Structure 1
Amino acid sequence: MARPIWSGTLSFGLLNVPVSLMSGERSVDLHFRMLDSRSNTPVRYERVNAETGEEVPWKEIVKAFEYEKGSYVVLEPDDIKSAASEGREAVEVQAFVDADSIGPEYYEKPYILVPGKKAEKGYVLFRETLKRTGKVGIARVVIRTREYLSAVMPRGDALMLMLLRYPQELIDVEDFKIPQGAASKYRVSPKEIQMAEQLIDSMSDEWKPAGYRDEFRDRLRKVIEKRLKSKGVVTPTTEDEEAETPENATTNVVDFMALLQKSLASKKRTPAKKAATKSVARKAATKKESTGKTSVGAKKKSTTKKAAKRASTKRKAG
């Protein structure tokens, strides 16, 4: 079962709907490993110091911003976290816009919002309202450590969360030499336009995404299978890990009418419940402490092994 990226709330006005954020795409790329042709053993990527050539352990690696060539400012983990929004487990809808007012160039990546247990009523209420009004919700959401602009929209029975690009990420078409003005300016005749329209009409069909496949990937997979048979190689199998989806202790016994009326009157949105936020923070702190201890123990063990290996190598050389 797919693992949720996080579980939190979808909030608009004074309404909060418990949801889980699930990835809306899957990777179908064929991944390759680099091998040493002399022995067919994998080639690893090493984290090495650019000046000394020595391997750098993870605990010594920090993030830095290069503000000038060769000049850096080091950032602590808390520095990056402090720049993110406080609502880490919330999709906070800030406005509603017409669905067709967002250009395709702004859409970046799809996610699926799945309602928590006993949160179906609020989910359906939001979905059906968006369908009837033809609107989409513009929201901010924090995924891992970065804040994104997003659009919440209905898609069949589901609510989709589409990550959006910021205007600063887009290149203005005015930066390119694009033909402007009427078609007649470029000696395009009405007859040519008419024939082009007839061609488009003859090729028109319904959009059926299932009818399209990545043919390059299919052909490449056949090449790989042929190689496997000729070499007699057996592909190892791996077990899929099942993740438990966190449960939300929210019921459908909510006076949505009253909340909607208050939202219309105040035009304010409700922040995530403090109790829930504190609970999540405590769990995250406990998990981080546990992970840190395990990581330190593993690193000490690794360092001891490396030291022993180097000592053995020196004795052999002597």
Structure 2
Amino acid sequence: MRASIPHRRLLVFGSINADLVTSPDRLPSPGETVLSPSYQMVNGGKGANQAVAAARSRISVSNPVLMVGAVGRDAFADQAVGDLQSNGVDVRYVARTASPTGCAFIAVDPSGENMITVALGANLDAQATQLTMELVTSGTILLMQNEIPMSEAIKAARQAREAGAMTILNLAPAPEGEAAAAIRDLLGSIDILVVNEHEFAVVCQVLCIPDCDGPKARVAALSKDIGADVVVTMGASGTLLGPSSGPVVHKPALAVAPVDTTGAGDTLTGVLAASLLDGLPLEDALTRANRAETLSCMAMGARDGMPSAAALDASLMATAAA
């Protein structure tokens, strides 16, 4: 990661969705129908989720969290944008388009495991031109995911690099097809890559990073190859940090019985960005984000378990005192 610069704003360029969540006794196999007694309509989208996680967990509320993306002109959009506002996210740069608001269809089994299909809708209308020169400066942290067009993400990352901003990329979901072929162009302009184990394997395969000497060695090899810090989330097994300089670090996860893992990775990524915005060093920021990810699994839905700064501090202090 490049030299530390005081940051003044977090800019989240990403997806905004409505989530329809079901609770079947088990997840379906291909071609199978399973029944759920009910469903919930909640707000989601990886970009919006990460913006909410960041806004809730930031230590200094004077550091703004801004959402940039696109929604439709429908009831889902009104609810999604309203929820962002109620969580302290600035929504002035969210565009309204003729496309329907993005929607995710989520099934969660009793163990907390999930299965998700996303209809991107208006998220495909998000454009890098929404990121004005006034927004993207050396005092900006740009946070992106893979639920907006890859071509626009590449443009945004290059703009951020030219402006001296820090760019964090959560490469989720794992890219496929033409998007996978464009990974190298995107990774060339980022400072921190956040992936889960599956996404990590996909990136390594596309970039021809050999699977040698265990996960830590592969994380280090990927970090060296792309010239960026790499964070790999592994659920109950914790998180690996491959800094662009120095040894790979393992952050263990707190042992809990999860209620719902939906949005856990979004929580980690959003809190990581917010902690860096607050001025924490990367490893300390990841400690905070790693704990937030665990706490987020203790409630249903992508956002209900996202901790506030106070709740996160209390959990970390309790562990330190034990």
| TM-score bin, normalised by smaller chain | under 0.3
Give TM-score, length-normalised by structure 1: 0.23
Who wins on radius of gyration, i.e. which is larger? Answer: 1
Give TM-score, length-normalised by structure 2: 0.23
Bigger relative contact order, structure 1 or 2 (CA pairs below 8 A, ≥6 apart): 1
